[in-house]
């Protein structure tokens, strides 16, 4: 732990079920953030698509897309200022492409507004889904991080979990805690994938991972906070409008890394793939 770092920050991951009524979603975020603050939370994490969600990805998302100074972010800003808490949530945001939207995460801090934003890099063109039809992929840019109480928090979302390079990039940028808002769709073995991958990202990077998913029947639920040894220190099951709350500790990270200095011992860096590699069919079509 370096000088000036506090030892602990309390984090809450909120498992809820956003719908297609933005005003109702905002009211739910207010109620649940107030509850989290009563439980001592300093950082409150909501799922992907918290501003708007429909099971059918399509034109309705374009109609619901907002700018980052729109009603949803203004609401989060007012909430953060009033309660003195950092709020992280997924936003359906407008993009330069009128036919697609941006799957965006924002972190809003009291008195500072948006302190980090992250546009989903890996789109869910898998398990029968095709997000690239409707979503613009995020740029491979500087890692999205912010600081609370001397701890550094990093942002990534949902399908990014299957790509360990995303998390490693955040850790290389100094992240102590990786926040993972998601809409992890239910299906055969999907709950197993979710819990296994969250554990792996924490273990291989010796960091905390705090993941907030949609509740069933759409998401798998199982929102959780995993510590640097891969232990789930707080978690919930399949309920809606519940939260897991835990303290994340710089001292704990330092102790684990003294015992297991895997980050210091590694021999590879993470670099973006060359242009054209790994692109989606929609990206390739746009380029051609």
Catalytic residue status for 288: no
Other C-beta atoms lying within 10 Å of the C-beta of residue 34: 15
Q: Residue 195, SS3?
A: helix
Residue 88 burial (C-beta neighbours within 10 Å; 0-12, 13-18, 19+): buried
User: Across the strands, what pairs with 9?
Assistant: 248
Catalytic residue status for 120: yes
Active-site residue, from 66, 131, 158, 222: 158
Other C-beta atoms lying within 10 Å of the C-beta of residue 155: 28
DSSP for 69-107 reads TSHHHHHHHHHHHHHT-EEEEEEEE--SSTT-EEEEEEE
Place of tokens 């299957």: 162
Active-site residue, from 120, 131, 183, 222: 120
Give CA–CA dist 190/64, Å, rounded. Answer: 28
| Structure tokens, 41 | 């939370």
Other C-beta atoms lying within 10 Å of the C-beta of residue 95: 16
Catalytic residue status for 48: yes
User: Across the strands, what pairs with 116?
Assistant: 107
The set of catalytic residues is: 48, 120, 158
């Amino acid at each position: 732990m370096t000088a000036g770092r506090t030892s602990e920050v309390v984090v809450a991951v909120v498992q809820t079920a956003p719908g297609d009524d933005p005003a109702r979603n905002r009211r739910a975020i207010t109620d649940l953030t107030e509850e989290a603050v009563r439980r001592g939370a300093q950082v409150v994490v909501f799922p992907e698509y918290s501003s708007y969600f429909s099971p059918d990805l399509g034109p309705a998302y374009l109609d619901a897309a907002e700018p980052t100074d729109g009603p949803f972010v203004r609401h989060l800003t007012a909430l953060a200022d009033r309660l003195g808490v950092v709020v992280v949530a997924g936003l359906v945001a407008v993009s330069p492409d009128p036919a697609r939207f941006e799957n965006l995460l924002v972190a809003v801090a009291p008195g500072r507004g948006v302190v980090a934003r992250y546009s989903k890099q890996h789109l869910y063109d898998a398990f029968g889904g095709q997000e690239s039809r409707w979503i613009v992929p995020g740029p491979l840019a500087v890692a999205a991080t912010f600081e609370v109480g001397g701890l550094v928090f990093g942002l990534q979302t949902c399908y990014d979990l299957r790509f360990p390079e995303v998390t490693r990039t955040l850790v290389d940028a100094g992240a102590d805690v990786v926040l993972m808002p998601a809409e992890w769709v239910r299906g055969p073995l999907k709950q197993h994938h979710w819990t296994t991958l969250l554990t792996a990202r924490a273990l291989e990077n010796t960091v905390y991972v705090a993941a907030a998913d949609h509740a069933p029947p759409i998401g798998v639920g199982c929102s959780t906070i995993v510590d640097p040894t891969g232990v789930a220190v707080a978690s919930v099951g399949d309920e809606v409008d519940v939260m897991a709350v835990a303290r994340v500790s710089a001292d704990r990270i330092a102790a684990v890394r003294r015992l297991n200095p895997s980050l210091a011992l590694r021999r590879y860096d993470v670099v973006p793939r060359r242009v054209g590699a790994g692109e989606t069919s929609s990206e390739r079509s746009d380029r051609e």
